[in-house]
Amino acid sequence: MGAATTDRDDVYHVHHDEGERVSEALVAAVAALDDTSPDDLPPLDARINVEALDSLWETDCSDRPSAGCLTFTYGGYVVVARSTGTVFLRDADATG
């Protein structure tokens, strides 16, 4: 299951278990941060191609990018998915 933790700059780190899709962990983290049900959030696929997000940096894919990041907004958060597999969330209103 995904979880979110925060550091002093209010950047939330999304962690996902092996075998869990990044998209599922992301939706669960946003729901937890907003103290709501994932069903009450807008559909993630209205913001981004979920299949592409889940497969973008799969470690067993031979032609995956070696470096990069993907940035988009979802559920009031700026989402940064890094090629390292780490996903960060920041309140979109706090980014100025």
Q: What CATH number is associated with residue 71?
A: 3.30.465
Spatial neighbors of 44 by CB under 8 A, at least 6 apart, are 23, 26, 27, 50, 53, 74
Exposed/middle/buried for 34, CB within 10 Å: 0-12, 13-18, 19+?
middle
**pLDDT at site 65:** 57
Show the tokens assigned to 69. 């990041």
**pLDDT at site 21:** 86
Show the tokens assigned to 24. 């599922």
pTM, rounded to two decimals = 0.78
Print the domain residue range for 80. 3-95
In single-letter form, the type of residue at position 84 comes to T
Show the tokens assigned to 75. 């559920």
What are the pLDDT digits (tens) for 32-87? 999 999 999 999 999 999 998 888 766 565 665 567 788 999 999 999 988 777 88
Question: Residue 10 has what DSSP assignment?
Answer: -
Q: How many domains are there within the chain?
A: 1
